[in-house]
Amino acid sequence: MVAAFEAQRAFFESGATRGLPFRVRALKALREAILREEKKICAALEADLGKSEFEGCATETGPVLAEIDLALKRLGGWAKPRSVPVPWNQFPTRGAIHPAPKGLVLIVSPWNYPFQLAANPLVSAMAAGNCAIIKPSELAPATSSILAGMFRSCFPPEHVAVVEGDAGTSSVLLALPFDHIFFTGSSRVGRIVLEAAARNLVPVTLELGGKSPCIVCAGANLAHAAKRIAWGKFLNAGQSCVAPDHVYVHETAKDRFVRELGAALLGFYGPDPRRSPDYGRIVDDRQFQRLSAMLGDGRTLVGGGTDPASRYIAPTVLDEVREESPLLTEEIFGPILPVLPFRELSEVLGRIRGLPRPLALYVFSEDIPLARRVMSEIPCGGACINDVVVQFANPHLPFGGIGASGMGACHGKSGFDTFSHFKAVARTPAAIDLPVKYPPYGKKLRWLKMFR
């Protein structure tokens, strides 16, 4: 690992990655490799998480291809120096901001979207002109292997390298003086990453998670709300950082909302989701046991079935959940959806404001000014009105958390900015040298104050 780091340092210092033609070639090589290996990538995702090929293309390879296409289209503008105004007393100096690559970046990716969340930051890092070492999650070994082989075929290791291993491997990497660390994962591990980075004063982007609440107001289109919430919640068997974590439903709409949820799930996965080719599985036994223990913390309205052998947990809807239950105090990160009735919206907003700031916030209401009021009153990483999850899928929107749900942003221009240093450059013509800034100052103070 240290040898790979030193090789990348030497390669970056050679200046090879700085030119736009090099960056464009790298992005195109990655795009071609994804299209060539897409079947294998989807097979690995199915082996790790039970993902269907459609879900693999829609949520893993597709978003990465969209990121590459956007970067190829806009890179020239993103990387172009931008002129800025200059104060009168600095005439004839000119000012400009030059985007420059940071250098060596470490990307530590998670297991829930193991291809997308490794490759998307890489697209941004390469577009910005950096070298990168990627540490995929050991909990998705098939996808990790595909990543290693594919990136090895696309890039020399001094430009992009994949280092596989467990938490010990991550610890060794985190001790190295990278120029930026991009981590996606849990808040608990995010704190460890931040502490390690602080020792070398390395800037960090943390894409974390937490409780992402959903509010269904009185008068909302319940059929559409239920269908969209069910899709976003049970996608990837609920193992999504932006999945609706729990739903507050106005008490007058709760019973019908639950019926609509059941109808949506029946339409999605049939009477036995275990047999559906479109429903995923829990990543490992530890996560399965954690989630199974939560099933007893409420009254089951829909689902509730499990199969330890295949790590299957049915899409499950619960009510009567205890306030002290982990379902309401911890990120669920699985296919369990608590439904919580409310009477007054102000009560719900106060409850949400009393919790760590969410990564995502979802509001369903026909009253758009009311929905916008909710958006303005609740600090969050991102939000949707009358939908879920789609804010994550738009490469033109920045994605990132706030407070305990993360720091920094990725996707599109925001990702390019994350991996760039914006260098301030002042240029003064050598032939013009105005005497106003030099001593003796004498009466110059009066002129300075007059023009200031």
**Catalytic residue positions?**
207, 241
User: Parallel, antiparallel, or unpaired for β 131-135 and 82-84?
Assistant: unpaired
Dihedrals phi, psi of 104, to nearest 5 degrees? -105, 125
Residues with Cβ within 8 Å of 437's Cβ and at least 6 positions away in sequence, in order, are 89
Tokens of 295: 């099933």
Cα angle, residue 347 at apex, residues 217 and 187 outer, rounded to 5° = 90
- 262 near 337, Cβ under 8 Å? no
Distances (CA, A) of 308 to 286, 287, 291, 337, 437: 11, 11, 11, 20, 77
Three-state secondary structure call for residue 102: coil
What DSSP designation does 424 have?
A: E
Closest CA to 114 of 149, 81, 143, 76: 143
Whose tokens are 């269904």? That residue is 216
Length of the chain, in residues = 452
Return the residue matching tokens 């893993």.
60
